[in-house]
Amino acid sequence: MRIIIRDTAQEASRLAASQIITSLPTNGRLGVATGSTPLALYGFLREAHAAGEFTLEGCSAWALDEYVQIPEDHPERYRNVLLNELVENGGTGLAADDLHTPDGAAEDPEQAARDYESQIAPGVDVQILGLGSNGHIGFNEPAGSLSSRTHVGHLTPTTRSDNARFFGNDIDAVPSLCITQGLATIMSAREIVLLAFGEGKAEAIAQIVEGGVAQRWPGSILQHHENVTVYVDEAAASRLDLADYYKTLN
């Protein structure tokens, strides 16, 4: 696990975008995350596309998760968020038909999860991840299986509270169910890029980087992946015991 610490989230996001531009092969498969954390990264990818330095044309993008039974036209439906970030507004070269998301509107979400798992196999080339304040990646909440595959998950009160800002600060408006890639699905990626910014992520970063691998902190499973880069700002790195050492390595 490589830890990259920079003064600001903007600087760290720019470096993460550069890694993706360099690492993603032609016609590659990119795993994409939602939430506020990767938005600056997506902005840098759009800038690179506009400058003729990068394109997702011919590539496919695979979402980590989707809310269950969220209206199709809801702005926080993750497919709509990713269309806005990667296809519209200048775009990245990605075609809408090449953006794959779990079918949260399916009558049988469990079957939709199984279908998505079979579609994403054998994994993506580069997976972008954010990190929840309780240590979740995707919507794999604490106490879940460390070997899970794509499944229907129940969101914890912490996650719903964190996401309420996207729903007018109304926690009751945040869906309680989701379809999410499992931890084993995420671990099948060839390369993983995780971003976490702000003091609110400091404990989670310390646990997943320097703590033991445990269900309490799902992101800690990444310690067993051979190619993970973690991008953090100074605030998110503030509880890392070895922060000074990590800075000497990059």
Instruction: Say how many C-beta atoms besides its own lie within 10 A of residue 248's C-beta.
Output: 7
Dist. CA 221–CA 167, nearest whole Å: 30
Phi, psi of 78 (to 5 degrees): -65, -30
CA atoms within 13 A on the CB side of 218: 26
Instruction: Confirm whether 154 is a catalytic residue.
Output: no
Instruction: Confirm whether 141 is a catalytic residue.
Output: yes
Among 85, 103, 125, 141, the active-site one is: 141
First to last CA, the chain: 12
CB 192 within 8 A of CB 127: yes
Instruction: Confirm whether 65 is a catalytic residue.
Output: yes
Dist. CA 47–CA 54, nearest whole Å: 9
Q: Which amino acid is at 213?
A: V
Among 49, 100, 136, 151, the active-site one is: 136
Which SS3 state, helix, strand or coil, does residue 205 take? helix
Structure-block tokens of residue 213: 């691998």
Among 100, 103, 134, 140, the active-site one is: 134
116: left (phi over 0), alpha (psi -120 to 50) or beta: alpha
Instruction: Confirm whether 134 is a catalytic residue.
Output: yes
Residues labelled catalytic: 65, 134, 136, 141
